[in-house]
Amino acid sequence: MPVKHSNKQSVLLEELNYIVSEGQNPDTLDIDLLDSISILKKLNDEDQKVPFAVRQILPDIAKAVDAIVQAFANGGRLIYIGAGTSGRLGVLDAVECPPTFSVTDEQVVGILAGGESAMFKAVEGAEDDMQLALDDLKQRRLSSKDVLVGIAASGRTPYVISALAYAREVGATSVGVTCNPDSAVVNDADIGLCAVVGAEALTGSTRLKSGSAQKLILNMLTTASMIRSGKSYQNLMVDVNATNEKLAARAIRIVMQATGCDADTAKAALHQANDKAKLAILMVLTGVDAKQGESMLLGCHGFLRKAVEASEKS
C-alpha cells in the first residue's frame, strides 16, 4: 500500500524542489564508486567554491557588522539563533568570544532549538516549533538594542523564521544567514546574508559547503565587530582573556610583539596590569602606570591605538 503524505509533507516536498542546497550535484553522481582519495578530491573541489560565494556578499556582511558594532556601543547584544548544524555553529561562535575578546557571555549569545542537549543529540521537532523560538527569545529578553542573527541553510526553518518575526516585533535588528536565495530567512530579515554555494557533494548534507559558508560568515561577524570595537591593536587580539596556561603564554607573547620588549618586561607589565594585555602594552609603550593607563583607555573608549597616539601628542 502506498504511503500517504500529510498536507504539510506535500508542501515541504514541493519546497525542497526549489532549495538550492537540496539539489543533486551533477559533479558528484559517481561519488559512491570512488576510492578514498578520489572522494576527498571531489569534496575538496566543492569546498573551494565556498570562499568565493562568501566574497560575493561582503557588502551585506559589512552592513551586519556595522549594526553589531552600533549595538555593542549602545549596550546591546549579538544573539545567534538556529536549529541543527546551523544553530550549533552559532553557539560555537558565541562561546569563543569571551576567552578571545574578554567580553561577557551575555554580549554574544547562541540559542539552539531544543536547548543545550541539542548540541549533542538531535531534538526531534524543535526546528519546526515556532512557539519555542518565541519562548527562547523572551527568556533572554530580546530588545530593540540587540542584533538577532537567524541561521538556516535552507532558509525555511520555522523556528528561525518565527525568531526573525519576533525581532521585527520588538524592534531588534535582524540578520538572516542562509545558502538559499529568495528564501524566508533572507526576505524576512533586515539584512539578508545568502552565500549561494550550490548543491552539496552529498545531496542535502548541509553540514558540508553550507555549514562551511555559515561558519565563515559568523567568524566575520564577530571578528570584524570586535576589531571595530577596539579589541585589537594592529592585528593582535589584545583583549585576550588569559584563563589557562596557553592563553597566559599567548598574552606574554602579544605584549612582546606589540612593544618589542623582552619576556621579563612583558611578564612584569602583565602582573602590574592584572594580566590585561591591552593595558600592559600601553604601559610598556608609554611608561604610564596601571592606573594612568586605565584612565587613558577609558578616555579612548578602549581603543589602544588611539591611547598610544594621544600619549605621543601630549
What DSSP string describes 70-95?
A: HHHHTT--EEEEESHHHHHHHHHHHH
Report the candidate in 259, 258, 255 with the shortest Cα–Cα distance to residue 270: 255
Q: What's 236's DSSP letter?
A: B
Q: Which amino acid is at 236?
A: L
Say what angle helices 209-228 and 84-101 make with each other, to 10 degrees. 30
End-to-end CA distance of the chain: 86
* Whether the Cβ atoms of residue 213 and residue 68 lie closer than 8 Å to each other: no
Active-site option among 127, 169, 200, 309: 127
DSSP, collapsed to helix, strand or coil, labels residue 240 as coil
DSSP, collapsed to helix, strand or coil, labels residue 197 as coil
Q: Which helix (H) or strand (E) holds 139?
A: helix 130-139
**22-33 burial by CB neighbour count: b if 16+ within 10 A, else e?**
beebeebeeeee
169 has catalytic annotation = no
How far apart are the C-alpha atoms of 124 and 108, rounded to whole Å? 26
Q: What's 199's DSSP letter?
A: S
Active-site option among 22, 46, 96, 169: 96
The neighbour count for residue 228, using CB atoms within 10 Å, is: 17
**255-293 burial by CB neighbour count: b if 16+ within 10 A, else e?**
bbbbbebeeebbbbbbeebebbbbbbbbbbbbebebeeb
127 has catalytic annotation = yes
Catalytic positions, please?
A: 96, 127
